[in-house]
Amino acid sequence: MISIAIPDLKDYCNNFLLKGVSIPLKCVPFSQEGLLKKLPSSEGKSGWPWTIETSMPLHEDLNLPKISIVIPSYNQCEYIEECIRSVLLQNYPNLELIIFDGGSNDGTREILEKYSPWISFWQSEKDNGQGHAINLGFSIASGEYFGWINSDDFYLPHCLYKVAKNFLKTDKDFIYGDSLILNESDKSVRYDQSFLVLDRYLRFGGIIPSHSSFWKSSIHQPIWEELNCAIDAELWMRLLVKKTKSHIKHPLAIARVQSEAKSVNERYKELWKADYEEKIWKAYEPAKMWKFKCYEFRHVQKIYKKFNIVPPSSEFRNLLKRDDFLFV
């Protein structure tokens, strides 16, 4: 067995305080009229999140809980603006947006500077990888609820309002939703149902979409920074045991499948393997009755998904108004 070396986020926070960072951070500016007309123009682009925004629900209470969103990034200038706008145009009244970029040299910094007035905090300098960037972000976050989204993915309209209402209604520790999957090569968009998440299934990697996941800050734990790829899978194994969970059976975000994504790029194959074989499985006790649990998992999930109705693609075509997407 090996030990899981996770940092103390208070140390990270103290380093920012020594640099003069004021905590709590400023919230994203809020206007009941929305931010769309105030953000930089999106010439030549249309639909969500370029020319439409989330309208604040009628009679919505402005005294909603604070949500902190962290975006880790490195050399994703092609996608990060879309991600940033999808957070800002939620028009959520109590929001922190924190971005840690690993010192990109592709134009990302210029995009961050352009959106700086609406970002609670951003930094673009060399870091120790995705897990480190996420930990840095949450070390200075002050929301009641946390979420992170990678810079090549983006939230769907009304996502944060749905999440906040679900937390207030259920008082669950962890909330996750379904997703839409965007294939960048042909711009096709398909529905992706999430799994039933029980403690006994947490060792099954890939069952929880990090881009559609949110949790109480009071239960937060740091990322294991030595991992290269399976950072979320391992985090859920520690974070969610004996925690209450709720599944919003509706997509909250779009996950983009693109050539540089860790989930599909061949050059990450050995890193995924090393994460599990050299670290994760050496840090946790061997699973008991694993073959039986695999059999159970397949059949339980098949039944669970069968009784969860998938909305028609026309619903999302009308919601996103993206002529460049092919909804299937």
pLDDT the model gives residue 1: 84
pLDDT the model gives residue 56: 79
CA distance 241 to 152: 29
pLDDT class of 267 with cuts at 50, 70, 90: confident
Cα dihedral sign for 39, 255, 148, 34? positive
pLDDT the model gives residue 265: 80
Q: Which of 48-62, 134-148, 265-279 has the lowest mean pLDDT?
A: 48-62
Q: Is the pLDDT of residue 3 over 70?
A: yes
CA distance 156 to 90: 8
Mean pLDDT of the chain: 95
CA distance 95 to 307: 34
Stretch 151-172: mean pLDDT, rounded?
A: 97
Would you state the structure tokens that stand for residue 217, as one six-digit string? 């800050």
CA distance 167 to 143: 13
**Angle formed at CA 62 by CA 61 and CA 63, multiple of 5 degrees:** 90
pLDDT the model gives residue 58: 63
The full set of domains in the chain, from first to last, is: 9-33+64-327 (3.90.550.10)
The answer to whether 120 and 142 have CB atoms below 8 angstroms apart is: no
pLDDT tens by residue, 201-229: 999 989 999 999 999 999 999 999 999 99
Q: Is the pLDDT of residue 107 over 90?
A: yes
Please state the three-class secondary structure of the chain as a single string. Answer: CCCCCCCCHHHHHHHHHHCCCCCCCCCCCCCCCCCCCCCCCCCCCCCCCCCCCCCCCCCCCCCCCCEEEEEEECCCCCCHHHHHHHHHCCCCCCEEEEEEECCCCCCHHHHHHHCHHHCCEEEECCCCCHHHHHHHHHHCCCCCEEEECCCCCEECCCHHHHHHHHHHHHCCCEEEEEEEEEECCCCEEEEECCCCCCHHHCCCCCCCCHHHEEEEHHHCCCCCCCCCCCHHHHHHHHHCCCCCEEEEEEEEEEEEECCCCCCCCHHHHHHHHHHHHHHHHHHCCCCCCHHHHHHHHHHHHHHHHHCCCCCCHHHHHHHHCCCCCEEC
Nearest to 29 by CA among 117, 100, 113, 98: 117
Torsion of CA 215, 210, 165, 65, to 10 degrees: 50
pLDDT the model gives residue 205: 87
Instruction: Kindly state the greatest CA–CA separation across the chain.
Output: 57
Stretch 187-214: mean pLDDT, rounded?
A: 96
pLDDT the model gives residue 193: 97
CA distance 36 to 113: 18
Rg (the chain; Cα; Å): 19
Percent residues over pLDDT 70 in the chain:
99
pLDDT tens by residue, 37-93: 999 998 899 999 999 999 877 656 678 999 999 999 999 999 999 999 999 999 999
> How much is the pTM?
0.96
With tokens 């239960």, the residue in question is 219
Percent residues over pLDDT 90 in the chain:
90
Q: List 176's β-bridge partners, or say none.
A: 213, 247
